[in-house]
Amino acid sequence: MYYIGYLLEIDESSVADEHLITGTADYVLTRLQFRLEQDKQQIERKNK
């Protein structure tokens, strides 16, 4: 994300690019969090 800010600063990308990248990163991290929570619950069920 720092690099994206740098590209904006030196006028090498647009605000639209930044929005796309931020939205994509948010989506990926949200999916990862959901998957990790599912895995954790599955492990807890097996250990009972």
Structurally, the chain folds into a number of domains equal to 1
* pLDDT for residue 28: 97
Q: What is the mean pLDDT of residues 6-26?
A: 90
Does pTM top 0.85 for this prediction?
no
Share of the chain above pLDDT 90, in %: 54
**pLDDT given for residue 32 in this prediction:** 97
pLDDT over 90 at 35, yes or no = yes
CA distances from 7 to 4, 18, 27, 40 (A): 5, 9, 22, 38
Which residues constitute the domain of residue 6?
A: 2-46
- What confidence tier does 7 reach under pLDDT thresholds 50, 70, 90? confident
